[in-house]
Amino acid sequence: MLDDCKGDRLEEVLAVFSSAVLKKMAAAASEAEGEHPTIAEQLALENRGYGGER
């Protein structure tokens, strides 16, 4: 899959992947605390899907 990715496209793929990992880690940390997440946190962790057509 990544064989065709070069330059800007590779950077975009890596940015999307790292963003997904950070969101997952933030959500796990929030759950571990046992507190209700703030509205800002809920919006930041909201799954909006990937809308890019590439």
- Name the burial class of residue 23, with classes exposed (0-12), middle (13-18) and buried (19+) by CB atoms within 10 angstroms of its CB: middle
Instruction: Kindly tell me if the per-residue pLDDT of 20 is higher than 80.
Output: yes
Q: How far apart are CA 33 and CA 40, in angstroms?
A: 16
Its pTM stands at 0.64
Check whether 34 has a pLDDT greater than 80: yes
Contacts with 9 (C-beta within 8 Å, 6 or more apart), sequence order: 54
Structural domain containing residue 32 = 8-48
Please tell me the predicted confidence (pLDDT) of residue 4: 75
φ, ψ (nearest 5 deg) of residue 6: -145, 150
Q: Residue for token digits 């509205």?
A: 39
Read off the tokens for 25: 């880690």
Residue 2 lies in a domain: no
Domain count, the chain: 1
- The per-residue pLDDT for 9 is 86
